[in-house]
């Protein structure tokens, strides 16, 4: 069981390492979307600070959708998804492993980029730390819930766009708590409440999403 | 009466056909009564004037939009658990009506917001939740539209609806939380001071009308879906020949 | 050891591909599924593998429905689909290793290489599968199949893309496997040279009219 999970994760990391261009796209998309905002709304530091949490979080949601579209699509196309589904190991573990691998490839680098972008948005150090903490707790939610959408839209025409329609509404709590944490600390109210709620949401996603993703994969491959 | 009997498509088709007129007429009667109460019986609100009367549409529509989503989730759970195809059809038949009520709730909310808040749209917790619910409905219908294979469509849609149903309370909570943080207090439609008993009755009668309408329309749609799905079977061929 | 179907029916969209299919394969037999294009051969194999869900009836492994046999069945079965399930960015060795890991097995390079060499891939062990021809990728998939140690092979057109020598090698593998007490279910449009192998032919289609050599084992209804 453990070996299966590790194989799934290691396999995806290996594939990502062989194709660096693929996953860097999502990171650069994140950076670019965030950088567009000062150009659009003006460079007043006060204003930037106010919108920073929301902008970074919305950009993270969009970037995750960009990378999730391919989470299962490539494996579906070359037939390896079928092989994975036929494994004697439970499909839930496959879904969990894929989500973990996606987070390592997509979410983790985001945590490293976010402080730099936070500085561009004139965030104080304290708020940057909370921003990183909120992304650390919140981005796994994006990988987990997004996996459901990726599995449901497998092999459909316009799957990527459809994925956005299905999954963005489900992301709402993560966005509110995540961006709210940054706002909370800026307003001097602390961010513990938001971060704990975000943590609870993450825990729930972790419990439910792999099962639903597994069921969705079975439905989509049938 | 055996319930299992009516889970068979042909029996359902016949039963639904007989029931639809009753629900449709019921809806018309209750709507007429409800509109009469809301326009002529309910008193003018001393704070909000006549404009408040939109709540007789707004509130039942908002109720129905949420309730229909839960009913869809119920049918999907039944369908996935017992593999009953008719359950999925019921979910499919209900979705457009749910989205319609969502849209109505948003529209009437905007109409009510203009005189109350001086703006067509305010990021009030209720309206925002309603908007996200509309997004969920749109997503589900888009997924159904994108999947050609009926079996896969049924199941994929059901999974999405169930995930949404788990998520909806969290979304409501989070939006409410967000709202109190960012907006402070705002006038709330439901907290109209001293809601007269007649207002409540008016809303309930309108809600019943909306209910009956939903059932009637969903049955009509479900009948259509049953015919389309079963178009190669003998009983459908017979209906076609007779028509 | 036996694989049997009971009153099996399959539907694709509006079309009923077959119904009332009853067939049984035992150790030491090869079930050769025949029928023209679009008759449902692939769908039948997918039902056997457990990827597809039958419209009616069930597939049984040793008398137990494969849905309940679950892991036992998946452990004993290997499925080679149209798509090879070979990742373009991995080398043949890595591909086979990942496949084994997904089955929960661990195999070393020392075990893998001789099999790949036997499959005629000695020259391309370190090349990414991207540069291999279709036939060579098919061979990688066949090597995975060999190493899986599965008793039941389900093969969908295993000979496509193989050259004359490759076909002969696969015939050798099949003979070896079946005569060693294994089972094979396969489709092919090519004629096979399988002297000494007990072949159960199955003609698939809307009306099951077939030439059955083993009336006790293979019953069929229209």
A101-148 pLDDT per residue, tens: 999 999 999 999 999 999 999 999 999 999 999 999 999 999 999 999
Q: Give the integer Cα–Cα distance in Å for A189 and A175.
A: 18
Q: Which CATH number is C36's domain given? A: 3.40.50.300
Nearest 5°: phi and psi at C185? -120, 125
First to last CA, chain C: 27
Position C210 in a domain: no
Position B33 in a domain: yes
Walking along chain B (243 residues) 10 residues at a time, the average pLDDT comes out as 68 88 93 88 74 85 93 95 90 95 93 82 85 95 92 94 92 84 52 66 91 94 90 82 81
Q: Which one-letter DSSP state was computed for residue A106?
A: I
Query: Closest-CA residue in chain A for C94?
Result: A11
Instruction: Give the pLDDT of residue C194.
Output: 81
Count the domains in chain C.
1
Position B19 in a domain: yes
Average pLDDT over residues C203-213: 55
Cβ contacts below 8 Å, chain A against chain C, sum to 76
Residue (of B147, B84, B81, B89) closest to A152 by Cα position? B147
- Tell how strand C15-26 and strand C183-187 pair up: unpaired
Range of the domain at B61: 8-242
Position C40 in a domain: yes
Instruction: Give the pLDDT of residue C36.
Output: 81
User: Given a cut of 80, is residue C208 above it in pLDDT?
Assistant: no
3-state secondary structure of C186: strand
As a whole number of Å, the CA-based R_g of chain B is 20
User: Given a cut of 70, is residue A7 above it in pLDDT?
Assistant: yes
User: Given a cut of 80, is residue C58 above it in pLDDT?
Assistant: yes
- Would the CB atoms of A83 and C102 count as touching at under 8 Å? yes
Average pLDDT over residues A84-113: 94
Q: Render pLDDT for C99-156 as a digit per residue (tens, 0 to 9).
A: 998 888 888 888 899 989 988 888 888 889 989 988 899 999 999 999 988 999 999 9
DSSP C12-71: ETTEEEEEEEEEEEETTEEEEEE--TTSSHHHHHHHHHTSS--SEEEEEETTEEHHHHTH
B149 touches chain C (CB under 8 A): yes
Q: Which two tokens stand for residue B148?
A: 């050609």
Instruction: Give the pLDDT of residue B191.
Output: 53
First to last CA, chain B: 29
Instruction: Give the pLDDT of residue B184.
Output: 44
Residue (of A14, A32, A17, A19) closest to A113 by Cα position? A32
pTM given for the model: 0.89
Query: Which residues of chain C neighbour B231 with C-beta distances below 8 Å?
Result: 14
Between CA C102 and CA C114, with CA C108 as vertex, the angle to 5 degrees is 110
- Would the CB atoms of C51 and A221 count as touching at under 8 Å? yes
User: Given a cut of 90, is residue A181 above it in pLDDT?
Assistant: yes
User: Given a cut of 50, is residue C221 above it in pLDDT?
Assistant: no
Average pLDDT over residues C82-90: 90
Query: Closest-CA residue in chain A for C81?
Result: A79
Confidence of residue C212 (pLDDT cuts 50, 70, 90): very low
Q: Give the integer Cα–Cα distance in Å for A27 and A170.
A: 22
- Comparing C176 with B232, which gets the higher pLDDT? C176
Partner residue facing A176 (CB), from B140, B160, B174: B174
Confidence of residue C217 (pLDDT cuts 50, 70, 90): very low
Q: Which two tokens stand for residue C55?
A: 């419209």
Domain limits, chain A: 2-221
Please tell me which chains touch C, using 3 or more CB pairs under 8 Å as the contact test.
A, B
- Would the CB atoms of C13 and B232 count as touching at under 8 Å? no
A87 touches chain C (CB under 8 A): yes
Count the domains in chain B.
1
A34 touches chain B (CB under 8 A): no
- Would the CB atoms of C14 and B148 count as touching at under 8 Å? no
Position C160 in a domain: yes
Range of the domain at C44: 2-83+147-203
User: Given a cut of 90, is residue A55 above it in pLDDT?
Assistant: yes
Position B3 in a domain: no
B147 touches chain C (CB under 8 A): no
Q: Give the integer Cα–Cα distance in Å for C94 and C106.
A: 12
Q: Give residue B69's Cα distance to chain centre.
A: 7
Position B114 in a domain: yes
Query: Closest-CA residue in chain C for B151?
Result: C13
Angstroms from C210 CA to nearest CA on chain A? 28
Instruction: Give the pLDDT of residue A96.
Output: 96
């Amino acid at each position: 069981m453990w070996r299966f999970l590790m194989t799934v994760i290691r396999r995806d990391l290996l594939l990502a390492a062989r194709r660096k261009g693929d996953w860097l796209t999502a990171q650069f998309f994140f950076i670019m979307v965030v950088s567009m905002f000062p150009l659009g709304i003006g460079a007043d530091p006060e204003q930037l600070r106010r919108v920073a949490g929301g902008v970074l979080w919305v950009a993270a949601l969009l970037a995750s959708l960009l990378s999730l579209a391919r989470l299962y699509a490539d494996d579906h196309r070359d037939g390896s998804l079928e092989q994975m589904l036929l494994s004697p190991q439970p499909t839930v573990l496959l879904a969990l492993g894929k989500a973990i691998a996606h987070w390592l490839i997509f979410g983790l680098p985001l945590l490293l980029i976010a402080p730099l972008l936070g500085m561009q948005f004139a965030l104080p150090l304290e708020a940057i730390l909370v921003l990183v903490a909120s992304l650390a707790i919140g981005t796994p939610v994006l990988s987990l819930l997004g996996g459901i959408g990726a599995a449901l839209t497998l092999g459909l025409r316009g799957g990527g766009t459809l994925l956005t329609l299905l999954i963005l509404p489900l992301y709402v709590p993560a966005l509110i708590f995540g961006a709210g944490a940054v706002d909370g600390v800026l307003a001097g109210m602390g961010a513990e409440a938001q971060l704990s709620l975000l943590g609870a949401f993450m825990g729930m996603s972790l419990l439910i999403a792999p099962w639903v993703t597994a069921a969705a994969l079975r439905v989509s491959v049938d | 009466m055996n319930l299992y009997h009516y889970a068979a498509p042909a029996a359902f088709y016949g039963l639904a056909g007989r029931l639809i007129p009753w629900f449709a007429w019921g809806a018309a009667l209750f709507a007429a009564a409800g509109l009469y109460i809301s326009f002529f019986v309910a008193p003018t609100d001393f704070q909000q004037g006549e404009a408040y009367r939109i709540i007789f549409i707004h509130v039942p529509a908002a109720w129905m939009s949420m309730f229909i989503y839960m009913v869809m989730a119920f049918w999907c759970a039944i369908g996935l658990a017992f593999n009953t195809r008719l359950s999925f059809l019921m979910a499919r038949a209900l979705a457009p009506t749910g989205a319609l009520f969502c849209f109505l709730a948003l529209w009437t909310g905007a109409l009510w917001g203009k005189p109350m808040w001086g703006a067509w749209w305010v990021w009030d917790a209720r309206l925002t939740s309603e908007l996200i619910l509309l997004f969920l409905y749109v997503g589900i219908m888009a997924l159904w539209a994108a999947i050609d294979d009926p079996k896969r469509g049924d199941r994929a849609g059901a999974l999405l609806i169930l995930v949404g149903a788990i998520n909806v309370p969290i979304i409501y909570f989070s939006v409410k939380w967000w709202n109190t943080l960012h907006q402070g207090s705002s006038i709330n439609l439901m907290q109209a001071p001293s809601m007269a008993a007649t207002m409540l009755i008016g809303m309930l009668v309108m809600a019943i009308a909306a209910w009956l309408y939903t059932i009637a329309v969903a049955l009509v749609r479900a009948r259509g879906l049953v015919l389309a799905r079963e178009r190669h079977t003998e009983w459908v061929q017979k209906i076609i020949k007779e028509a | 050891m036996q694989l049997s179907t009971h009153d099996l029916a399959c539907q694709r969209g509006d079309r009923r591909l077959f119904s009332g299919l009853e067939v049984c394969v035992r150790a030491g037999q090869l079930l050769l599924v025949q029928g023209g294009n679009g008759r449902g051969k692939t769908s039948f194999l997918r039902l056997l593998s457990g990827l597809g869900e039958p419209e009616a009836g069930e597939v049984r492994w040793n008398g137990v429905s494969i849905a309940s046999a679950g892991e036992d069945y998946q452990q004993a079965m290997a499925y080679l689909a149209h798509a090879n399930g070979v990742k373009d960015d991995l080398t043949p060795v890595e591909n086979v290793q990942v496949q084994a890991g997904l089955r929960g097995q661990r195999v070393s390079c020392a075990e893998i290489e001789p099999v790949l060499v036997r499959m005629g891939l000695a020259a391309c062990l370190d090349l990414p599968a991207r540069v291999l021809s279709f036939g060579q990728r098919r061979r990688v998939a066949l090597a995975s199949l060999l190493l899986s140690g599965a008793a039941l092979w389900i093969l969908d057109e295993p000979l496509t893309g193989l050259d004359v020598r490759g076909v002969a090698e696969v015939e050798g593998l099949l003979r070896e496997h079946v005569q060693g007490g294994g089972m094979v279910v396969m489709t092919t449009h090519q004629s096979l040279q399988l002297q000494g192998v007990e072949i159960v032919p199955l003609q698939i289609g809307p009306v099951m009219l077939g030439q059955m050599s083993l009336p006790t084992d293979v019953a069929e209804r229209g």
